[in-house]
Structure 1
């Protein structure tokens, strides 16, 4: 039975993906900072819930140690930063550092911890169109995702036996997307469940490592 770690699985895309893989019979370890939201997600018997923050080294160790083997690691947990999104000239540097800690350093640290169990497995780093497009106000989150994209690309070169994907799910109707556009109606964005099949296709077909969009 294949096994995976999915971070940020209490809501949005992470929760939708966890449900999809659980329905396929995968053994999963999932996390999020909100313990109650994880419990309410009701993933099923093959899913181990470990609440915590991916920026915590002990929590990352707990995630990896919970599985004897690992076929898939999905770095989905992310920090948006201040809402509304500030211009770079006004961006609080302590907040900027926290965004990078969650979106760049924590995924890399989790990858480093999990590599010995991944063998020829799959790493998915959830990206954003803000990583490649210069949107006003997205200098913090966007540049952190650009850094994560570059980490993905270099990791694929350094570990050719792995399949490493930077996956851009596009705009979705999530709490994070709503926080990025406070007061705006985002009901026209697709639900995360409609995006999951694009990632499942990557997992099933294992095309060459690279950056993919839904």
Structure 2
């Protein structure tokens, strides 16, 4: 059976991606910090979809996390890994100089360094499979600078660029790379980012569900798309960044996010 590995698998979009892959016949390797949530998800996958799910509870912000995940994955899938989903990540809301620097660096480790390190380490396993897929989960914030989410948006812009560059390098191989960039999604992102209730209420008005995002993302992945933005409103807003002057885009974004600081 094909095997897929997902980071940040215990909740939100990661959890929905795991269930979606299980429904499609994949066995799962699930990685996140919460052992209890991973075990509960693994049991749900076994009960509802009759697929196996191995779990690794790990703090992925640690510098050696990627090496530990890669060693574990090689043991679990010696014949090859069919899918790698780099989903782990979070945001921090606030002005750059006011936010704690260590917390911002931890965020960069998770959003930026981990996907690069893990992809590098697991590419040999992905090449062993008849067909390999990499899905990097970015954000619509990747398409413009976002004041008060400055470092988060920059990390997602990196992930988008990394995905497209790597995709081209692998174009003649059996491994395909896709970048998924969701907009507002009904997850714990706002709470983790430190957003206030007023801003979260605004986001909730246009939020998609994790299942909607995951289903769209998996369809894009297996269709071999370079990048995909789920939701019509999200597509339009990201598309406008190509035609609207950057200072105006940044002013609009600041108007949405900074007014609640």
Question: Structure 1 length as normaliser, TM-score?
Answer: 0.89
Contact 1:6 1:74 survives alignment (8 Å): yes
Counterpart of 2:163?
Answer: 152
How far apart are residue 211 of structure 1 and its match? 2.2
Contact 1:80 1:141 survives alignment (8 Å): yes
Deviations 1:36-84 (A, max 9, x none): 1112222214111111133413234213432121111000001323xxx
Counterpart of 2:125?
Answer: 117
Q: CA RMSD in A?
A: 1.8
Change (3 A) 1:90 1:178: closer
Q: Would you identify which runs of 4 or more consecutive aligned residues in structure 1 move more than 4 Å?
A: none
Contact 1:163 1:206 survives alignment (8 Å): yes
Structure 1 residue 33 corresponds to structure 2 residue 29: no
Contact 1:33 1:52 survives alignment (8 Å): yes
Q: Is the partner of 1:74 in helix, strand or coil? A: strand
Q: Is the partner of 2:116 in helix, strand or coil? A: helix
Task: Mark the structure with the bigger radius of gyration.
Answer: 2
Name whichever structure is richer in helix by fraction: 2
How far apart are residue 90 of structure 1 and its match? 2.9
Change (3 A) 1:40 1:203: same
Following the alignment from structure 2 to structure 1, what is the Cα–Cα distance between the partners of residues 103 and 139? 19
Contact 1:53 1:59 survives alignment (8 Å): no
Structure 1 unpaired stretches of 5+: none
Number of equivalences? 209
Following the alignment from structure 2 to structure 1, what is the Cα–Cα distance between the partners of residues 56 and 176? 25
Counterpart of 2:22?
Answer: 22
Following the alignment from structure 1 to structure 2, what is the Cα–Cα distance between the partners of residues 107 and 48? 20
Change (3 A) 1:146 1:13: same
How far apart are residue 141 of structure 1 and its match? 0.9
Counterpart of 1:182?
Answer: 196
Deviations 1:116-145 (A, max 9, x none): 011241111100111112222111111111
Deviations 1:163-203 (A, max 9, x none): 11111122100011343333233543221012222112123
Contact 2:82 2:132 survives alignment (8 Å): yes
Counterpart of 1:193?
Answer: 211
Structure 1 residue 213 corresponds to structure 2 residue 229: yes
Counterpart of 2:71?
Answer: 61
Structure 2 unpaired stretches of 5+: 231-261
Following the alignment from structure 1 to structure 2, what is the Cα–Cα distance between the partners of residues 165 and 159? 12
Contact 1:4 1:26 survives alignment (8 Å): yes
